[in-house]
Amino acid sequence: MAIRNIVKYGDETLRRVCRPVEEITPRILTLLDDMAETMRAANGCGLAAPQVGILRRIAVVETEPGELIELINPKIIAFAGEQREQEGCLSIPEKWGITVRPAHVTVRATNRRGEEFEVTGSGLLARALCHEIDHLDGKLFVDKVIKYID
């Protein structure tokens, strides 16, 4: 495993739509491992592949220590409610804002073994899932900020 460089705001990679993963190869598995290590080293709770310069539909989320969720080709299939909470991004360091996100989401994705699964989350987990999936579509949290926090 290796810690990768995190792409920063202003890099056009962050605004590009990612390609689906067609096959889970050793390179994809290494990317998942590296992304988890990179996210943890940066004290984040989520990281998407474009944040490390890879335009593939891959993200990792860990809102509870030791409960890593690896997402390949994730898609939000259900959402409900609303939350207005503070949000930040590893690609936009030291910038925080209040965003409006669903209070609850269900995401369908593929795991590292090629198995389809669903994860349902509320609160921070819902926000993190939405945030990372937005990255895969070239969207950033600053696009959703309703109020910046100093």
The per-residue pLDDT for range 85-107, each reduced to its tens digit, is: 999 999 999 999 999 999 999 99
**Is residue 26, in this structure, part of any structural domain at all?**
yes
Show Cβ contacts of residue 88 under 8 Å, excluding neighbours closer than 6 positions: 95, 96, 97, 141
Number of neighbours of residue 82 by Cβ within 10 angstroms? 10
The range of the structural domain enclosing residue 86 comes to 12-149
The per-residue pLDDT for range 115-125, each reduced to its tens digit, is: 999 999 999 99
Give the whole-angstrom CA distance, residue 38 versus residue 32: 10
Q: How many domains does the chain have?
A: 1
**Is residue 49, in this structure, part of any structural domain at all?**
yes
Give the whole-angstrom CA distance, residue 135 versus residue 137: 5
**Is residue 6, in this structure, part of any structural domain at all?**
no
With residue 48 as reference, give the H or E element that holds it: strand 46-48
**Is residue 5, in this structure, part of any structural domain at all?**
no
User: Is residue 132 annotated as part of the catalytic site, yes or no?
Assistant: yes
Provide the whole-model pTM.
0.97
**Is residue 51, in this structure, part of any structural domain at all?**
yes
Give the domain CATH number at 17.
3.90.45.10
Mean pLDDT of 60-72: 98
% of the chain with per-residue pLDDT over 70? 100
**Is residue 44, in this structure, part of any structural domain at all?**
yes
Q: Which of 62, 70, 87, 132 is catalytic?
A: 132
List strands edge to edge, sheet with 69-80.
Answer: 46-48, 58-61, 69-80, 104-110, 116-122
